[in-house]
Amino acid sequence: MTTVQDLPQIKGVKNIPLEEQFTSGHRTCQGCESALVMRLMIKAAGPRTIVVGSTGCMYVANTTYYSTPWVVPWMHTQLGSSGSAATGTAAGLASMMRKGKMKQEPINVIAFCGDGGGADMGLSAISAALQHDEYNLLILMYDNESYANTDIQVSGSSPWGANSTFSPPGKVHRIMNKRWKKNMAPMLATGHPNCRYVATACGSYGLDFNNKIRRALTIGGPTFIHSIDPCPKGWDYDPKFSHELGMLAIETGLWVQYEIIDGELILNGPSRSIGRGIRKRKPIGDYLTRQGRFAHLTPEDIQYFQTKVDETWEKWWMPGVIPLTMSDE
Member of 144, 163, 167, 183 binding another protein (CB under 8 A): 163
Q: What is the largest CA-CA distance in the chain?
A: 66
Pairwise CA distance, residues 221 & 218, whole Å: 9
Per CB under 8 A, contacts with another protein among 141-160 are 149-152
**Partners of 54 in beta bridges:** 77
Per CB under 8 A, contacts with another protein among 266-325 are 289-293, 295-296
Burial of 222 (0-12, 13-18, 19+ CB in 10 A): buried
Per CB under 8 A, contacts with another protein among 193-252 are 203-204, 206-207, 232-234, 236-244
Least distance (Å) between residue 191 CB and another protein:
13
Q: Does 14 bind another protein (CB under 8 A)?
A: yes
Member of 128, 187, 261, 265 binding another protein (CB under 8 A): 128
Per CB under 8 A, contacts with another protein among 23-62 are 23-36, 39, 47-50, 52, 59-61
Number of neighbouring beta carbons within 10 Å of residue 283: 16
CB proximity list for 317: less than 8 A, separation 6 or greater: 323, 324, 325, 326
Pairwise CA distance, residues 57 & 231, whole Å: 11
Member of 88, 186, 253, 269 binding another protein (CB under 8 A): 88
User: Which conformational region is residue 245 in: left (phi greater than 0), alpha (psi within -120 to 50 degrees), or beta?
Assistant: alpha
Per CB under 8 A, contacts with another protein among 174-203 are 203
Least distance (Å) between residue 258 CB and another protein:
22
Span from 119-127, 248-256, 266-274, 312-320 in contact with another protein (CB under 8 A): 119-127
